[in-house]
Structure 1
Amino acid sequence: MLKKQLAGEKAVEFIEDGMVIGLGSGSTVFYTIQKIGELVKKGLRIQGVPTSQETTLLAQSLHIPLVSMDEVDEIDLTIDGADEVDRNLQGIKGGGGALLYEKIVACTSRKIIWVVDESKMVELLGGFPLPIEVVPFGYKQVVRKMEEEGCHPVLRISNGSPFQTDGGHYIVDLHMNKIKNPENLAEKLQKVTGIVENGLFLNCADQVIIGGQDEVKIETRGKNK
């Protein structure tokens, strides 16, 4: 079984009947959503809140009942992927371009589980380019600001045009190699006019399920396991 599949399917064990579930995006969560679809077919009663159009289409194809973000007051559990996770369970997300919606869902969740394969675990964040979601109007001003800050920004391109998120924004990827102080960087990015959201997800995940070659490891924030 694939490492991603091991992690993705393990997360389903934390779902209880009657829950509102945040459905993340990405290749590992794909296996989670497929497994949820199987359980719904067998009688599991849940409501899913999707974080992207791609996730919405997948969940609909599996007949998972969906509700919008505005139809719920709270989400019981969100299961999502991550592009990088450090030893303190701080993460970078947004490789698929859904970081804004993912963060909105995360902020409304009582518990958050990330599912990753072991290659996503790192000592220091930054090897994976940090996405920032920016307003198209005047985006070059943001790019220039990031260049001045030494963040090595690159506008994400798809099929020859700027990649657009589900919210109609652009993504600029910051190629920083190492992020020594994620908290300080996140604070700086939040103050830049034109940046809608950044891909630093700090103090967010309660647990990370890590798929290895033949086993699954679960790390819990604030605990050494």
Structure 2
Amino acid sequence: MKTSGGSDAAKRRAGESAAAAVDDGDVVGLGTGSTAAHAIRRIGERVDAGLDVRGVPTSFASRELAADRGIPLVDLDRAVGPDAPGIDLAIDGADQVVTAGSASGGEHAAPANAAIKGGGAAHAREKLVDSAADRFLVVADPSKETAALDRPVPVEVLPAGRSVVAQAVRAADGEPTLRRAERKDGPVVTDNGNLVFDCAFGEIADPAALSTTLSETPGVVDHGLFVDLADEIHVGTATDVRVVTW
């Protein structure tokens, strides 16, 4: 269920803007998706020019692109833990991200720190890396901006827990749809060997509460609601980059 929309130029501006925040010696979380890919390419160019960094990939796709661009890689387990360097910065895309105060919060309300990820079915690993980072930068184009989240929420599910999770989602006033693979029979299978439900809840009035409900559901590996994780959002436009911070 990959999202579409937004020009490649706007995505490139966003990705390259976030890549400029990477400093020499950093360990960097490398996100998944078309906008994060621009950040990875730019970091690769900086590595060619002498930048000393190590990348922590969030998916098979980001690992392949980073390796192709000459970025030294380290596994998450070696980046985080006792005597490990930690992750200085993570850069990742979003399928939908709040960048304006909601109508219920008033005209000048601060934007909620909330996003939906998982169009590429990599959200479980993305959340591990992004939450472990000292700073998390979201990169997006204007088509991903919203005042309130309303896209279906991807939920990674243990295959054996499919029916239990579907029942729990319906009890939370959602409608789960098993994500089907393209150009092959059967469902999408994540890099972790699990299935994905795309769960429609309509407009999500309280992302934090829904995040808690989904996280506490047995059989859920992780979900695509990213709440209170981002430090900045870099939104690429036709001419420049707009940065939203918390």
Instruction: With the length of structure 2 as denominator, give the TM-score of the two structures.
Output: 0.87
> Which of residues 174, 181, 185 in structure 1 aligns to 2:206?
181
CA RMSD across the alignment: 1.1
Looking at structure 2, the residues matched to 79 and 145 of structure 1 have their Cα atoms a distance apart, in angstroms, of: 32
> Which of residues 127, 133, 137 in structure 1 aligns to 2:160?
137
- 1:83 alignment partner AA: D
Number of residue pairs aligned between Structure 1 and Structure 2: 220
> Which of residues 70, 78, 81 in structure 1 aligns to 2:77?
70
SS of alignment partner, residue 62 of structure 2: helix
SS of alignment partner, residue 22 of structure 1: strand
- Aligned match of 2:147: 123
Q: Identity across aligned pairs (percent)?
A: 39
Output aligned runs, 1:69-88, within 5 Å: 69-73=76-80, 74-86=86-98, 87-88=111-112
Looking at structure 1, the residues matched to 129 and 230 of structure 2 have their Cα atoms a distance apart, in angstroms, of: 12
Output aligned runs, 1:148-167, within 5 Å: 148-158=171-181, 159-167=184-192
Shift of residue 144, structure 1, vs aligned partner? 2.5
Shift of residue 220, structure 1, vs aligned partner? 0.2
CA contact 1:133–1:198 (8 Å) conserved in 2: yes
Output aligned runs, 1:1-40, within 5 Å: 2-40=9-47
SS of alignment partner, residue 239 of structure 2: coil
Looking at structure 1, the residues matched to 205 and 198 of structure 2 have their Cα atoms a distance apart, in angstroms, of: 17
- 2:91 alignment partner AA: I
CA contact 1:134–1:171 (8 Å) conserved in 2: yes
- Aligned match of 1:209: 234
Shift of residue 72, structure 1, vs aligned partner? 1.2
Instruction: With the length of structure 1 as denominator, give the TM-score of the two structures.
Output: 0.95
Looking at structure 2, the residues matched to 165 and 138 of structure 1 have their Cα atoms a distance apart, in angstroms, of: 15
> Which of residues 56, 80, 100 in structure 1 aligns to 2:124?
100
Looking at structure 2, the residues matched to 78 and 65 of structure 1 have their Cα atoms a distance apart, in angstroms, of: 15
- 1:51 alignment partner AA: T
Please list every run of at least 4 consecutive aligned residues from structure 1 whose deviation after the TM superposition is greater than 4 angstroms: none
Shift of residue 63, structure 1, vs aligned partner? 1.1
